[in-house]
Chains A and B, each alone.
Chain A
Amino acid sequence: MAHAEANVTASLAEGHAVPLHRLAHARAGDKGDRLNLALFAYDPCRYETLVAQVTEERVLALFAHRGASRVRRYLMPGLAGMNLVIDDVLQGGVNGALNLDGHGKTLSFLLLSMDVVVGKT
């Protein structure tokens, strides 16, 4: 396991754009029409890269087509992670949405599709 993960991060070249998925893992949770995305750097050395590039503005833009109205970011340096709280992104939430995933559980991987530049802070 550790070996596979080492290979994944070893192939990252500084200065190149990669999907966030290469640097971090995430989990989505929903309450009402509010989504939280907890995002953690695999390697704590990459945490500053996430802080610099996974901004409230960029996350709001990524989810704008879904009607997201606000993103609040809570930094958790002790966990090498952050909590991104997005309002009005669930199309009515689990009891209101017509989409295939009313909980928004899959949206952690939409976040992980965001491009980040390795090593740029």
Chain B
Amino acid sequence: MTFLLGSGAGFSGDRTDAAIPVVAELIRRGQPAALVFETLGERTLAAAHRALRDDPAAGYEPLLEELLAPVLDDCLTHGIAILGNFGAANPDGACRVVAELAAGTARGEASIGRVHGDDIRARLAELDLQRWEAESRELPGEEALISANVYLGAAPLVEALGLGAEVVVSGRVADPALFLAPLMHHFGWAWDDWDRLAAGMMAGHLGECGAQVTGGYFADPGFKEVPGLATVGYPIIEVEEDGRLVVTKPAGTGGMVTARTVKEQLLYEVHDPANYLTPDVVVDLSTVRVEELGPNRVAVSGIRGKPAPQRLKTTVCYEGGWQGEAEISYAGPNALARARLAAEVLRERLTFRAPPELRSRLDIVGHASVFDSDAGDLQRRLPASDSGDYRLRLAAEHAERRWVERATQELLALYCAGPAGGGGVRRQFQRRVCTASYLVKRSDVEAFATLFEASPVNQRRAAHGAR
């Protein structure tokens, strides 16, 4: 029988009403189903650790109540398991929120599973760490360390479902593992059935970014039209026991599922398509096929799997000093020349008003900004126009907040001491988080699940270790 995977969120800060039509459709279909909220990015986790440091009750997904409240009652009533990495730095805190929300449902309670083992900060120094190839940063000193979390696979999530959890709360797990887990639980696939594991992981990969597979992040007017983007329907992936997948979305929602929307998401954040690494399986997409079966129904087949890697990715977040930004607008006749003069003045001022280790960058938004280098190579190459609407942006970083403040204050001073007609200065500062990624031995990671508020006697460690 088909298993349905619904997506309710693709990142922290995603639309909080997305799960409502997804759950309505899952109920209408009446097939076994799960709903997944993916809300954890690299920096989200560091922000959560900071929040936890300031408030022991915080540190989980800030929008958790808004995401769950509209659908929790229906999911509990209809046996739709909910899985989310919304525990972030404080899964227990998230479990408490879920328990409180469940108390207000018709049932009055829910069985809540909690995944353990991703947070390895305390053991980081003693572990055998290999550098992850797409990043080249040194491991920070202990004093700067904010968090260190392993990307766990699906096993502890499956364990939680096996314990009877109706809502599974995790911190860092590989995003698609949130989708693979209910498939493993439902179909009972073997942990070395690589082709099925790969199909399940890709079902998760297609669903993990929410609307990115259903027409979100796709529209390019005149080239790629997407209907109803304001009410884009989040994906539902139909999965068969043999690993066949169909991507679809709830009836009556906006957006669209086509071969093109599916292809774009299929390779999203993938490097070598023949060796896409996940904690549970190495996915081979070299023979993948994408086929439109009908309106908003796209089949994905030909996914193959290879044995899981022996090391798991771990992301370390650490304090990176301060970052500040400030902007000022120039518009109308000769605006670009005035904005450029403002940039020159700022650059010169910073040479004698800021310490040499202050790193800064100037962009002229509207002329060359997002595509440019820190040194402004594109800006210099582009021809000047007589008039326009430009915004000069300064970004600066330094270990000490006061130097970042002073740099942005130099932009503020352009109000009186800069070129004519500048206006609309905004300034902001924030702590800077840096990340470095490593690979740890699978055997060094202990991942397991417990039921929230279960007695410690019943909490058992997973026999299968780090999956």
Contact = CB atoms under 8 A, between A and B. Distances in A.
Interface of A: 1, 4-5, 8, 21, 25-27, 29-34, 36, 38, 40, 42, 65-67, 72, 74, 76, 78-79, 81, 83, 85, 87, 91, 93-96, 98-101, 106-107, 110
B42 A106 contact: no
Contact of B136 (A4, A33, A100): A33
B264 A27 contact: yes
Contact of B374 (A33, A40, A98): A98
Contact of B271 (A4, A21, A40, A85): A85
Contacts of A106: 370-371
B393 A100 contact: yes
B215 to A, nearest CB: 11
Contact of B273 (A74, A100, A101): A74
Given A25-B223, A95-B433, A100 B363 contact: yes
A94 B43 contact: yes
A98 B361 contact: yes
A21 B223 contact: yes
B441 interface: no
B267 A76 contact: yes
Nearest to B290: A79
Interface in B343-376: 359-361, 363, 365, 369-374
A95 B434 contact: yes
B272 A98 contact: no
A95 B134 contact: no
Contact of A83 (B270, B320, B359, B395): B270
A65 B373 contact: yes
A76 B149 CA distance: 33
Interface of B: 42-43, 132, 134-136, 217-218, 220, 222-225, 227, 260, 263-274, 285-290, 302, 317, 320, 323, 359-361, 363, 365, 369-374, 377-378, 393, 395-397, 432-435, 437
B223 A78 contact: no
A66 to B, nearest CB: 5
Given A32-B437, A36-B269, A95-B435, A25 B260 contact: yes
Contact of B373 (A33, A34, A67, A94): A67
Contacts of A76: 267, 273, 285-286, 288
Contacts of A40: 260, 263-264
B373 to A, nearest CB: 5
B369 A100 contact: yes
Nearest to A33: B135
Contacts of A26: 264
25 contacts: A1-B227, A8-B222, A8-B223, A25-B260, A27-B267, A31-B134, A32-B132, A32-B134, A34-B135, A36-B268, A38-B263, A38-B264, A72-B272, A74-B274, A78-B287, A78-B288, A79-B266, A85-B272, A87-B134, A95-B317, A98-B361, A100-B363, A100-B369, A106-B370, A106-B371
A91 B395 contact: no
**Which of the listed residues B287, B374, B433 has the most CB atoms from chain A within 10 Å of its own CB?**
B374
A27 B217 contact: yes
Given A65-B373, A66-B373, A78-B302, 8 more contacts: A25-B264, A27-B267, A32-B134, A36-B271, A42-B223, A76-B288, A93-B435, A95-B43
Given A25-B223, A65-B378, A98-B395, A38 B371 contact: no
A45 to B, nearest CB: 15
A99 B395 contact: yes
**Which of the listed residues A40, A95, A100, A110 has the most CB atoms from chain B within 10 Å of its own CB?**
A95
**Which of the listed residues B273, B369, B371 has the most CB atoms from chain A within 10 Å of its own CB?**
B371
Nearest to A3: B225
Contacts of A65: 372-373, 377-378
Contacts of A27: 217-218, 264-265, 267-268
Given A29-B270, A65-B373, A66-B373, A81 B263 contact: yes
A45 B287 CA distance: 19
B135 A93 contact: yes
Nearest to A83: B267
A63 to B, nearest CB: 9
A100 B270 contact: no
